[in-house]
Amino acid sequence: MHTMNIKLLLITGTLLLAACSAESQPSKPMPTTTNPYYSRTDTTPLTLANSEWKKVLPADVYTIAREQGTERAFTGKYWDFEGLGTYYCAACGNQLFRSDSKFGSGCGWPSFYEPVRKTAVRYIDDNTHGMVRTEVRCGRCDGHLGHVFDDGPPPTGLRFCMNSIVLEFEPDSK
Ligand SMILES: [Zn+2]
């Protein structure tokens, strides 16, 4: 009986230790291993059919990136987030924005005044929903990211209004 209790204690102790060490680890970037097209270094444009994207993207990312969806305002993980680092495309890993260009627009979506480089994104005229807007897509995978408006702050006067779901934030290493 006595030995049983000690064994039990040991097991519980080990489990606690394991739980602690898992928690103390810095959060790693989470490129999905099921998405073979994801790369933070390869900038070769991807031209995949939506049927292929559907197999490799999480459902919420697919809805925004491939079906021009929009997350509800003030619900995404980055609209009021102020971490220092880089934002990547959640669908393909393309580098999109730096935190330096992020600003509090109050619109409920993460907003930036410029992409990290000109070719990081591409622009499409969007006349849907009775509005004349400019859609912003990822320069690598052509996935929908959001829209750009001309009411942003200096130096560009632009407001890239993005969906958190298709962004992936990586903090700067200290
Ligand atoms: Zn992309």
Query: What pLDDT digit, counting tens, does each position of 24-68 carry?
Result: 444 555 554 589 999 999 999 999 999 999 999 999 999 999 999
Query: How far is the centre of ligand 1, averaged over its atoms, from the C-alpha of 123 (Å)?
Result: 13
Query: What pLDDT digit, counting tens, does each position of 75-125 carry?
Result: 999 999 999 999 999 999 999 999 999 999 999 999 999 999 999 999 999
Does residue 17 carry a pLDDT above 50?
no
The HSE-up count of residue 52 (CA atoms within 13 Å, CB side) is 11
Q: Which amino acid is at 43?
A: T
Query: How far is the centre of ligand 1, averaged over its atoms, from the C-alpha of 39 (Å)?
Result: 9
The encoded tokens of residue 30 equal 């989470």
Q: How far is Cα 146 from Cα 109, in angstroms, rounded to an integer? A: 9
Q: How far is Cα 136 from Cα 125, in angstroms, rounded to an integer? A: 9
- Give residues whose Cβ lies within 5 Å of ion ligand 1: 89, 91-92, 94, 138, 140-141, 143
In contact, 126 and 134? CB cutoff 8 Å: yes
Q: What is the pTM of this model?
A: 0.80
Residue 161 catalytic? Answer: yes
